[in-house]
């Protein structure tokens, strides 16, 4: 059914039902059931509309067509005693982001729901691509290959995006007030394409940006039962999640080389050293996960309660391997025979958590918690006698595909003491341990997390919450997994490195008048990676904001808000080239700084109560990102080219701004009818040197040449509402 078909069909059904119920009785009854509902039908016109090339960001997750649209349709049938009901709902019917739901419930007894939801996710509307995709996921180019410059005038791709279609069934029943049984099935279907790079060798060779074909389905089934008695409760849950990918691999021709024919317009990528005519990437494999869990809670003496969960997951993956290469010059090499046909992937995940809370005396609350998460990867460790680098050349060294099991423990105790009626102080200590295997940098890390928190309500209109939570992660035996050309001994990967963290959160809520509320918030986090001579050394962020809501008169409410956020990351690295593996003058430091300002304001006014109301909303967000870099010392000691390669420089700033304003006037011109006049302004501006004006043919590489374009939209809509 076309774009217009669904709303027209819904409209006809709605009118038929309303007329039918009207004939049956003046009380809107049909088939002996009460009928009520509403319809919001509108027309939309663009005073200024983003062009197709500008629409990627504008319609990133939505569809905003001009013309007739059904914003919302709701029909509800209920029994005369209001015991049970049945509701149908449609939002944005006929559009790419439409949503339908069907729901039947009898409060306290059962609830049945079905929902169909579409989400478009558009990545780009400005890509270009030469060649064809006759077979899904196989991107071919003519032979001999076109000159690289020909890619600049390649046909434009209509749209690069993926649509998610989600269907969800759920049913829960409470045969008695203490029992609840629930079944849920969710199916997510994703179809479309998204940009993907494919290289044809090492970093001196070329790559081509293609489209990753997306044809994936997720099935998710959950069955649960819960029992709640006066002193205890239990809950059992089983979940099955299955991922299916209709495609195993994506194949692309190499723009720099056809079989036996070099592309003379390529400089490096057409090297005779095994340049492959095509390459192949394996797509995400099918997988399956079962999860069982048992949770419970029990009341204990001294006003205490203990709760716990035991969950066990079993993740499986046995998708057959694709061959090492599709390069005919290498494919027959005996060293590339696969040791086994698939991974026989098998991961067992155990979660155990235990929590206890107690109030032995009224002003004191004690809580304790322990959590174990064990990720036991039992998949095969496969030793490959040789590998192929990007379909280009043989890597004759044997390579083991390691497994990386880990276990994490976390525990903590808190004591909260209400010192006075308005003041409560919480102190606590937490501990977290990660236990990894010998293939990781830090086999064992311990982190200690003291905490102090204050809740203060000096009067009934002031609430102050403050939390200070520093932590220290200590790594005593870091193994940098060094070899001749890879990681430095002094590098520390931030997720496994020693770290001192300072963290604070503050919130003040003021309600000096019933009509005035103000919230002030401030949070800060400062991570210092104490042992990281190379790698991430410092990671800071803070945010401060204010929200105000005020109703000067009963008919009018005003709100405004502002937040400033800043992020800073400092990292240090050292250029390593063949003859200069440990030249400290090749050190460079990068400081990445982000600042984001977000504003919001609005007014809601009932100009004529029950008749005419007005709404104004405004949001603006501006983000600035700077990537700065410098050398602590002047690079020396290598060749002029090597020294020049070690010189760090700032990158241009990256900026984006999103601006949205909305105004509406709604008038109730009949008891059941409303008319809403709406105006929306949106604009998006972005500056990103990495993608702006990127030509498809850049050096030996081929890009899609896509980027998100700025847009500006002025939208006018008139929406008629009917409620009965």
Partner 1 sequence: MKVAWAPGVGVPVALLAFIFFLPPTSSAQPRDGYVGVEACKVCHPDKVESYSATTMGRLFLRHPRNDQERLGCEACHGPGKAHAEAGGGKGVGGLTSFSRKDPTPVEARNAVCLRCHERTARLFWKGSPHESRDVACTDCHRVMVRVSERGQLARATVVETCAQCHIRSRVQLMRSSHMPLREGKMDCMSCHNPHGTGTEKLLRANSVNDTCYKCHAEKRGPFLWEHTPVMENCGNCHDPHGSNHEKMLKLPKPRLCQQCHTDIGHASSPQTRTTRFVMGRQCLNCHATIHGSNHPSGNFFKR
Of 518-547, binders to partner 1 (CB under 8 A) are 519, 521, 523, 534-536, 543, 545, 547
Minimum CB distance to partner 1 smaller for 6 or for 583 = 583
Count of alpha carbons within 13 angstroms of residue 571, beta-carbon side: 13
3-state DSSP: the chain helix, strand, coil percent, rounded to 5? 5, 60, 35
Run of H or E including 314:
strand 304-317
Q: For residues 561 and 621, what is the distance between their CA atoms, to the nearest angstrom?
A: 12
Residue among 261, 270, 278 at smallest CA distance from 204: 270
Minimum CB distance to partner 1 smaller for 195 or for 504 = 195
Enter the tokens of residue 334.
């005996």
Minimum CB distance to partner 1 smaller for 399 or for 672 = 399
Residue 586 has φ and ψ, to the nearest 5°, of -90, 10
Q: How many residues bind partner 1 (CB under 8 A)?
A: 196
Q: For residues 210 and 207, what is the distance between their CA atoms, to the nearest angstrom?
A: 10
Residues 593-632 that bind partner 1 (CB under 8 A): 594, 596, 598, 600, 619, 621, 623, 625, 627, 629, 631
x/- map, 444-483, partner 1, by CB under 8 A: ---------x-x----xx---x------------------
Position 565 contacts partner 1 (CB under 8 A):
yes
478 DSSP assignment: B
Q: For residues 225 and 589, what is the distance between their CA atoms, to the nearest angstrom?
A: 55
Minimum CB distance to partner 1 smaller for 395 or for 612 = 395
Position 357 contacts partner 1 (CB under 8 A):
yes
- Taking the complex as a whole, the smallest distance from the CB of residue 177 to partner 1 amounts, in Å, to 5
Residue among 455, 438, 447, 498 at smallest CA distance from 471: 447
For residue 377, what are the contacts with CB-CB under 8 A and spacing of at least 6? Answer: 346, 347, 403, 404, 405
- Taking the complex as a whole, the smallest distance from the CB of residue 23 to partner 1 amounts, in Å, to 26
- Taking the complex as a whole, the smallest distance from the CB of residue 149 to partner 1 amounts, in Å, to 17
Query: 11, 516, 614, 658: which one contacts partner 1 (CB under 8 A)?
Result: 658
Position 267 contacts partner 1 (CB under 8 A):
no
Residues 695-714 that bind partner 1 (CB under 8 A): 698-699, 701, 703
Query: 8, 150, 227, 605: which one contacts partner 1 (CB under 8 A)?
Result: 227
Do residues 171 and 111 lie in contact, with contact meaning Cβ atoms separated by under 8 Å?
yes
- Taking the complex as a whole, the smallest distance from the CB of residue 110 to partner 1 amounts, in Å, to 5
Query: 576, 712, 714, 723: which one contacts partner 1 (CB under 8 A)?
Result: 576
Residues 314-343 that bind partner 1 (CB under 8 A): 315-319, 321-325, 338, 343
Q: For residues 217 and 286, what is the distance between their CA atoms, to the nearest angstrom?
A: 10
Q: What is the CA radius of gyration of the chain?
A: 31
Query: 2, 32, 108, 610: which one contacts partner 1 (CB under 8 A)?
Result: 108
Minimum CB distance to partner 1 smaller for 263 or for 571 = 571
Q: For residues 659 and 620, what is the distance between their CA atoms, to the nearest angstrom?
A: 5
Query: 168, 346, 538, 662: which one contacts partner 1 (CB under 8 A)?
Result: 346
Minimum CB distance to partner 1 smaller for 61 or for 669 = 61
Q: For residues 715 and 680, what is the distance between their CA atoms, to the nearest angstrom?
A: 5
Q: Exposure string (b/e) for 587-620, b if CB count within 10 Å is 16 or more? A: bbebebbbebebebbbebebeeeeeebeebbbbb
- Taking the complex as a whole, the smallest distance from the CB of residue 375 to partner 1 amounts, in Å, to 8
Run of H or E including 20:
helix 5-24
Minimum CB distance to partner 1 smaller for 8 or for 423 = 423
CB atoms within 10 A of CB 424: 18
**138-139 and 249-253 beta bridge pairing:** parallel
Minimum CB distance to partner 1 smaller for 159 or for 642 = 642
Do residues 567 and 593 lie in contact, with contact meaning Cβ atoms separated by under 8 Å?
yes
- Taking the complex as a whole, the smallest distance from the CB of residue 12 to partner 1 amounts, in Å, to 25
Minimum CB distance to partner 1 smaller for 233 or for 474 = 233
Position 680 contacts partner 1 (CB under 8 A):
no
Minimum CB distance to partner 1 smaller for 22 or for 305 = 305
Position 495 contacts partner 1 (CB under 8 A):
yes
Enter the tokens of residue 254.
């190499």
Q: What angle do CA 317, 321, 323 make, to 5 degrees?
A: 170
Do residues 262 and 275 lie in contact, with contact meaning Cβ atoms separated by under 8 Å?
yes
Q: For residues 56 and 160, what is the distance between their CA atoms, to the nearest angstrom?
A: 9
Do residues 97 and 63 lie in contact, with contact meaning Cβ atoms separated by under 8 Å?
yes
Position 265 contacts partner 1 (CB under 8 A):
no
x/- map, 636-655, partner 1, by CB under 8 A: ---------xxxxx-xx-x-
x/- map, 498-517, partner 1, by CB under 8 A: ---------x-x-x------
Residue among 584, 587, 513, 519 at smallest CA distance from 551: 513
Query: 24, 247, 349, 516: which one contacts partner 1 (CB under 8 A)?
Result: 349
Q: For residues 597 and 624, what is the distance between their CA atoms, to the nearest angstrom?
A: 9
Residue 11 has φ and ψ, to the nearest 5°, of -60, -45
**Which part of the chain contacts partner 1 (CB under 8 A), choosing from 15-23, 36-44, 309-317, 667-675?**
309-317
Residues 23-52 that bind partner 1 (CB under 8 A): none
Query: 28, 152, 313, 687: which one contacts partner 1 (CB under 8 A)?
Result: 313
Residues 378-417 that bind partner 1 (CB under 8 A): 379, 382, 384, 387-391, 395, 399, 401-404, 406, 410, 414, 416
Q: For residues 41 and 7, what is the distance between their CA atoms, to the nearest angstrom?
A: 9
**Which part of the chain contacts partner 1 (CB under 8 A), choosing from 13-21, 81-89, 135-143, 152-160?**
81-89
x/- map, 278-297, partner 1, by CB under 8 A: -xxxx-xxxxxx-x-x-xxx
Query: 691, 712, 716, 720: which one contacts partner 1 (CB under 8 A)?
Result: 691
Minimum CB distance to partner 1 smaller for 240 or for 556 = 240
Minimum CB distance to partner 1 smaller for 144 or for 422 = 422
H and E: helices and strands count for the chain: 3, 39
**Which part of the chain contacts partner 1 (CB under 8 A), choosing from 43-51, 140-148, 442-450, 584-592?**
584-592
Minimum CB distance to partner 1 smaller for 52 or for 376 = 376
- Taking the complex as a whole, the smallest distance from the CB of residue 704 to partner 1 amounts, in Å, to 8
Q: For residues 268 and 697, what is the distance between their CA atoms, to the nearest angstrom?
A: 14
3-class secondary structure, 103: strand
- 144 prior amide bond cis, ω within 30: yes
Q: Exposure string (b/e) for 559-584, b if CB count within 10 Å is 16 or more? A: bebebebbbbbbbbbbbeeeebeebe
- Taking the complex as a whole, the smallest distance from the CB of residue 389 to partner 1 amounts, in Å, to 7
Residues 160-199 that bind partner 1 (CB under 8 A): 169, 171, 173, 177-178, 180, 182-183, 185, 188, 195-199
Minimum CB distance to partner 1 smaller for 22 or for 619 = 619
x/- map, 419-448, partner 1, by CB under 8 A: -----x-x-------------x--------
Position 373 contacts partner 1 (CB under 8 A):
yes
Residues 196-225 that bind partner 1 (CB under 8 A): 196-199, 203, 207, 209, 212, 216, 218, 220-221, 223-224
Query: 53, 80, 555, 690: which one contacts partner 1 (CB under 8 A)?
Result: 690
């Amino acid at each position: 059914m076309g774009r217009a078909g669904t709303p027209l069909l819904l409209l006809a059904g709605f009118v038929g039902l309303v007329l039918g119920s009207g004939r049956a009785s003046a009380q809107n009854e049909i088939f002996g059931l009460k009928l009520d509902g509403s319809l919001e039908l509108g027309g939309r016109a663009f005073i200024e509309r983003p062009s197709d090339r500008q629409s990627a960001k504008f319609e990133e997750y939505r569809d905003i067509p001009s013309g007739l649209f059904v914003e919302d349709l709701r029909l509800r049938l209920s029994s005369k005693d209001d015991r049970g009901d049945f509701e149908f709902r449609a939002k944005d019917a006929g559009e790419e982001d439409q949503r339908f739901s069907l729901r039947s419930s009898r409060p306290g007894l059962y609830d049945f729901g079905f929902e169909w939801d579409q989400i478009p996710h558009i990545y780009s509307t400005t890509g270009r691509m030469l060649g064809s995709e006759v077979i899904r996921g196989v991107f071919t180019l003519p032979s001999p290959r076109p000159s690289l410059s020909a890619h600049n005038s390649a046909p434009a791709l209509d749209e690069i995006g993926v649509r998610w279609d989600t269907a969800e069934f759920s049913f829960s029943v409470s045969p008695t007030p203490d029992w609840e049984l629930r079944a849920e099935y969710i199916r997510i279907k994703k179809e479309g394409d998204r940009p993907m790079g494919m290289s044809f060798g090492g970093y001196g060779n070329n790559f081509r940006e293609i489209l990753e074909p997306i044809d994936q389905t997720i099935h998710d089934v959950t069955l649960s039962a819960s029992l709640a008695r006066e002193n205890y409760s239990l809950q059992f849950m089983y979940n099955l999640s299955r991922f299916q990918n209709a495609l195993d691999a994506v194949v692309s021709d190499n723009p720099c080389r056809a079989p036996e024919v070099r592309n003379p317009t390529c400089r490096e990528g057409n090297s005779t050293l095994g340049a492959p005519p095509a390459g192949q990437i394996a797509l995400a494999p099918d997988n399956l996960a079962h999860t069982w869990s048992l949770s419970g809670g029990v009341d204990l003496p001294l006003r205490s309660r203990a709760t716990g969960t035991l969950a066990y997951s079993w993740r499986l993956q046995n998708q057959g391997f694709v061959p090492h290469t599709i390069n005919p010059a290498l494919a027959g090499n005996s060293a590339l025979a696969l040791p086994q046909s698939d991974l026989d992937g098998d991961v067992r995940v155990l979660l155990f958590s235990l929590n206890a809370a107690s109030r032995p005396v009224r002003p004191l609350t004690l809580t304790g918690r322990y959590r174990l998460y064990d990720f036991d990867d039992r998949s095969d460790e496969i030793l490959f006698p040789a590998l192929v680098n990007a379909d280009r050349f043989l890597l004759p060294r044997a390579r083991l595909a390691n497994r990386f099991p880990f276990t994490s423990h976390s525990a903590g105790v808190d004591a909260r003491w209400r010192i006075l009626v308005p003041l409560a102080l919480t102190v606590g200590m937490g501990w977290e341990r990660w236990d990894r295997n010998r293939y990781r940098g830090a086999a064992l890390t311990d982190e200690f997390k003291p905490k102090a928190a204050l809740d203060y309500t000096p009067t009934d209109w002031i609430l102050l919450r403050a939390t200070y939570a520093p932590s220290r992660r200590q790594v005593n035996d870091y193994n940098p997994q060094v070899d001749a050309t890879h990681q430095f001994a002094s590098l520390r990967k931030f997720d496994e490195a020693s770290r001192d963290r300072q963290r604070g959160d503050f919130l003040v809520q003021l309600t000096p008048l019933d009509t005035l509320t103000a919230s002030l918030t401030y949070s800060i986090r400062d991570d210092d990676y104490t042992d990281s001579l190379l790698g991430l050394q410092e990671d800071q962020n803070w945010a401060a904001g204010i929200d105000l809501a005020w109703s000067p008169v009963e008919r009018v409410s005003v709100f405004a808000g502002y937040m400033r956020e800043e992020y800073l990351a400092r990292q240090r690295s050292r250029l390593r080239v063949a003859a200069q593996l440990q030249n400290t003058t090749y050190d460079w430091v990068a400081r990445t700084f982000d600042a984001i300002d977000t504003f919001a304001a609005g007014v809601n006014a009932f100009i004529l109560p029950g008749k005419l109301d007005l709404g104004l909303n405004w949001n603006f967000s501006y983000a600035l990102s700077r990537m700065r870099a410098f050398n602590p010392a002047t690079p020396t000691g290598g060749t002029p080219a090597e020294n020049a390669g070690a010189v760090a420089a700032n990158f241009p700033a990256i900026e984006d701004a999103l601006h949205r304003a909305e105004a509406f006037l709604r008038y109730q011109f009949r008891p059941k009818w409303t008319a809403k006049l709406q105006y929306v302004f949106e604009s998006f501006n972005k500056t990103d040197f990495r993608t702006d004006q990127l030509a498809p043919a850049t050096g030996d590489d081929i890009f899609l040449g896509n980027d998100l374009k700025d847009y500006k939209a002025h939208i006018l809509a008139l929406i008629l509402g009917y409620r009965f």
